[in-house]
Amino acid sequence: MLVRYRKDYEKIAMGLLSLVPDLRNYGRFTDELTGALTAGYPVYLWKDAEDNHFIAIAIVEEGTDYLLLRQLSFTPSERSGKNVFALLTALQDQYPGKRLMGTLKNQSLITNWEQFNEH
């Protein structure tokens, strides 16, 4: 389930961002979250339907006709294609009529998700 970020989720969001290899340094993942919120980028947490725990974070940038996935991080035990694709589908459902796009680092994930949804 997609849940919009709130201030009381800050520690959870920081923990999930700390799992991104490029953001392992404490200053980097705090800067990433602060920068996203300052820029007005929507930040979402993904809650596992089975045990009701937050297992992922997604930072997106909303354009006029696109939604750019800027950052995506899952807990190590939940990095299955099923979970990732479910989160991407929920993002697409949240922004109907906008194309979901990725950065250079995660575009292949978006492409795989698009191909999966074609069938």
Q: What pLDDT does 80 receive? A: 78
Provide the residue ranges of all domains of the chain, joining segments of one domain with +.
2-118
- CATH fold of 2-118, please? Aminopeptidase (3.40.630)
Q: What pLDDT does 25 receive? A: 64
Question: β-strands 99-102, 66-74: how paired?
Answer: parallel
- Mean pLDDT for the stretch of residues 21-29: 72
Q: What pLDDT does 87 receive? A: 96
From CA 46, how far away is CA 86, in angstroms rounded?
Answer: 9
101 contact partners, CB below 8 Å, separation of at least 6:
66, 67, 68, 69, 107, 110
For all residues of the chain together, what is the average pLDDT?
A: 91
Nearest to 78 by CA among 49, 99, 36, 101: 49
Which tens digits make up the pLDDT trace of 66-115?
999 999 999 988 877 788 999 999 999 999 999 999 999 999 999 999 99
pTM of the model: 0.91
